[in-house]
Amino acid sequence: MRFNDNTNFKQEDNEMMNLQTKSLEGHQVHMTGEIIDRIHYKDGRVEERVGHNLVVNSFLNLVMSLLKQQSGYKGIQYWAVGSGASSWDSSMPSPEITATKLTAELGRVAISTSEIKFLTPEYEESSSPTNILQISHSFGPTDCNGVWREFGIFGGNATSAKDSGVMINKRHHAVITKTEEMTIERIMRFTLNLV
């Protein structure tokens, strides 16, 4: 079963999901995020949801911290999920580009370096650095159970503590009630281009 979570996208939403900054030379840094959720139910059913997310402003702070080799800062470290707000079920707001944390973080899981891969333009794994990064993680039966409506990936000085670290992206999505009866495989792809 495939669920396309882009049904309410308007043109401005499409423009907002991309991070664009202008340089003195007139080039733009263009970063997009694509998410694939595969929900595996105990009875063998698999539901797939595909959508996009917003790369937030603090991503640039993280990049600059890593370039400077800022003490205590690292790249991608945690995948956090949140319950958002129940009002989102009838009227889903777009995430804000200035967001630095989830609306209501429920829990987070550590992302290991083995779960982060470089990809070619054909989405094949690459041993050499590329402009496409894929993060894959499976939330097991006991991981972050509850009502999910949002997620974000955190790096920098992130720890296992709620709301810690530098937010890279934010996504609001249709409600998922995560229970011990399911596992959720999440695949996040970031593509960074200079255009």
- Nearest 5°: CA angle at 168, between 174 and 53? 30
Going residue by residue through the chain (195 aa), what tens digit of pLDDT does each one get? 555 555 444 434 443 444 444 444 566 777 889 999 999 999 999 999 999 999 999 999 999 999 999 999 999 999 999 999 999 999 999 999 999 999 999 999 999 999 999 999 999 999 999 999 999 999 999 999 999 999 999 999 999 999 999 999 999 999 999 999 999 999 999 999 877
**Terminus-to-terminus CA distance in the chain, angstroms?**
36
User: From the centroid of its chain, how far is CA 168?
Assistant: 7
b/e sequence 95-113, b meaning 16+ C-beta within 10 Å: beeebbbbbebbbbbebee
Q: Which of 184, 194, 195, 193 is nearest to 35 (CA)?
A: 184
Cβ–Cβ < 8 Å for 6, 33: no
Residues in the chain: 195
pTM of the entire predicted model: 0.85
CA distance 188 to 1: 19
User: From the centroid of its chain, how far is CA 124?
Assistant: 20
